[in-house]
């Protein structure tokens, strides 16, 4: 009887141990499934809008502001980017400025606040993209830092995208150091999919705000996360330039 009790206890401990080991992997799969659900929903709504544009005689995805003068959200984002480039990014020095979105998507009927998604093949990730780097958004995916360019591309823009360096249940930007010059990423917004190429990687201090400013004449996406892995006293930065 005692031997049987020890056998049951041993099996129980084995199952508990296996659960502890497998839990992070299970949570990662659950997060990936949730992220894919958000992205599929975004794509479906995006495709519906594309069909309506085609029914109106506008064939193909628009790639310039001139084709989108009748879209209030696009115009708001474009005007935001123009103002940012014209007036400068001094407010980026205030960490609280990162959290409040520069544009409230709810005001444009987008209740889930998803602005698009980021795909990085080399890292094997697709992350929903939110405006404003508050904690709720960063738990759910990648975030555009407020006081940097809205994610629509264009000359004199630099969309700075932040994500956790791994979370308790998701890889996110954990493997960012695998990216090297020439690797590509894509950024899908409400109107288009933009492709960027890695041109530089760099480790900076949290106070080196000027390192992520807009660069004259360039169309950039900058990825940023904590560094080293599991610590946060530096930032790992990946600069990407638009190629299509």
Report, as residue numbers or ranges, the catalytic residues.
164, 226
How many angstroms separate the CA atoms of 133 and 162, rounded?
Answer: 7
Tokens matching residue 136: 């709720």
Tokens matching residue 81: 């980017």
How many angstroms separate the CA atoms of 9 and 126, rounded?
Answer: 42
What residue has token string 């904690």? 135
Which residues does 81 contact at the CB level (< 8 Å), separation at least 6?
149, 150, 152, 154, 156, 157
The residues pairing with 82 across neighbouring beta strands, listed in sequence order, are none
Please, are residues 131 and 102 in contact by the beta-carbon 8 Å criterion? yes
How many angstroms separate the CA atoms of 72 and 94, rounded?
Answer: 29
Within its chain, how far is the Cα of 15 from the centroid? 37
How many angstroms separate the CA atoms of 142 and 164, rounded?
Answer: 8
Which residues does 68 contact at the CB level (< 8 Å), separation at least 6?
62, 74, 75, 78, 191
């Amino acid at each position: 009887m005692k031997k049987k009790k020890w056998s049951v206890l041993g099996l129980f401990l084995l199952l508990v141990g296996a659960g502890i080991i497998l839990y992070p992997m299970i949570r990662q799969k659950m997060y990936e499934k949730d992220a894919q659900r958000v992205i599929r929903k975004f794509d479906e709504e995006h495709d519906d809008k594309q069909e309506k544009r085609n029914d109106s005689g506008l064939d193909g995805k628009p790639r310039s502001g001139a084709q989108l003068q009748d879209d209030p959200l696009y115009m708001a984002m474009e005007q935001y980017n123009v103002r940012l480039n014209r007036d400068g990014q001094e407010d980026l020095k205030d960490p609280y400025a990162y959290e409040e979105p520069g544009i409230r998507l709810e005001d444009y009927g987008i209740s889930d606040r998803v602005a698009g998604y980021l795909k990085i093949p080399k890292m094997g990730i697709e992350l929903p993209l939110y405006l404003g780097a508050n904690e709720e958004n960063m738990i759910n995916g990648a975030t555009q830092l407020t006081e940097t360019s809205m994610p629509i591309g264009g000359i004199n823009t630099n969309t700075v995208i932040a994500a956790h360096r791994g979370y308790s249940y998701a890889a996110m930007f954990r493997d960012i150091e695998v990216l090297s010059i020439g690797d590509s990423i894509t950024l899908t917004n409400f109107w288009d999919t933009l492709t960027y190429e890695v041109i530089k990687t760099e480790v900076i201090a949290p106070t080196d705000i000027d390192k992520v400013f807009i660069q004259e004449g360039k169309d950039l996406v900058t990825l940023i996360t904590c560094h080293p892995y599991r610590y946060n006293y530096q930032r790992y930065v990946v600069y990407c330039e638009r190629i299509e």
